Amino acid sequence: MNFGDIFKNFRKQQPSRDEAPSHWVKCPSCNSLMYYKEVENLSQVCPKCKFHMRIGPDKRIALLADAGSFQEYDADLVPVDPLGFVDKKSYKKRVAESEKKTGKRSSVVSGECTIEGIPVQLVVFDFSFMGGSLGSVEGEKIVRAVHRAIEKRQGVIIVSASGGARMQESTFSLLQMSKTSAALKRLAKEGLPYISVLTDPTMGGVSASFAMLGDVIVAEPGALIGFAGQRVIKQTIGAELPEGFQRSEFLLKHGFLDMIVQRSEMKSTLADLLRYFSIGIDGAPEHKPVPRRRKEDKLQMRQVSEHMNDLSAKDDNQTHAP
């Protein structure tokens, strides 16, 4: 073996630049360079500016579920390709690539766990699997989780991170919006709670269906939440849009969200909410139908509408007064 061979072997043993583990993380918000362990210890939240970086479903579940309590369901449900869809690549190829990248078979992980001892159905989106898009399998997994919740008298938590409907499944994907909404309506009729957690990003058909149907809608700070993207809206309405109008803070201010919760406090907040709703969850409660509107309520409604009429009549008079 000559010197050349020795150097060749030495070079082979060195990981390439792509393979080398990066020990430094750059915050996308404040550009600070931090040691990865520091960020990891804070569940991927920047210690300097509190920017919440995206996290995968495994980390999310570890963060929310009591240790060792998560039991996954329907992990082997796999997308089919009903339309034989091909854009730049075939749908089948895209799914295979995502499977290889994430080790998951769809963009949703669903199962049962306890949160501070309270049993709950937990559904978590994986944005790195085809942009967390909502296809037939994802919709089916959500519906099955809701059905398990009804059967076991539990609440449902869905953590969304999605670009919206999966265009490769066309109408089959859009159908999941109504299918999941209908299942959640059944859950509501049973008097069981659904808490929706919106993380960065929650867009398109996901925000236009189950993500915005929570009894309580919680979001992480700074999450992008909306239907169409900013550029599309601007082109359509031809107007300047306010700064950060699709971020959690703006949406909370305008009544779309109930609360913004730091990642470090998400688990205890969800447990508090479940406890708040759990009157009736523990010990298999009786089904309580939604009470019909009582006579007094109807009377009150009539009084309110009469009052409004009076006000508008007064308004008209003022407008027409000389």
Residues that bind Zn ion (CB under 5 A): 27, 29-30, 46, 48-49, 51
Closer residue to Zn ion (CB): 29 or 181: 29
Compute the residue count for the chain.
322
Backbone angles phi, psi at 37, to 5 degrees: -65, -35
Closer residue to Zn ion (CB): 55 or 270: 55
* Contact (Cβ atoms closer than 8 angstroms) between residue 225 and residue 203: yes
Closer residue to Zn ion (CB): 41 or 309: 41
Query: Strands across the sheet with 216-219, in order?
Result: 71-73, 108-115, 118-125, 155-162, 194-202, 216-219, 259-260
- Which residue is associated with the tokens 């169409």? 228
Least CB distance from residue 27 to Zn ion, whole Å?
3
How do strand 118-125 and strand 155-162 relate by DSSP bridges? parallel
Backbone angles phi, psi at 26, to 5 degrees: -105, 125
Least CB distance from residue 300 to Zn ion, whole Å?
51
Least CB distance from residue 174 to Zn ion, whole Å?
37
Closer residue to Zn ion (CB): 27 or 251: 27
Closer residue to Zn ion (CB): 49 or 96: 49
Least CB distance from residue 202 to Zn ion, whole Å?
21
Least CB distance from residue 34 to Zn ion, whole Å?
8
Least CB distance from residue 50 to Zn ion, whole Å?
7
d(CA 186, CA 191): 9
Closer residue to Zn ion (CB): 29 or 128: 29
Name the token pair of 134.
């909502």
The 3-state DSSP composition of the chain as helix, strand, coil percent (nearest 5) reads: 45, 20, 40
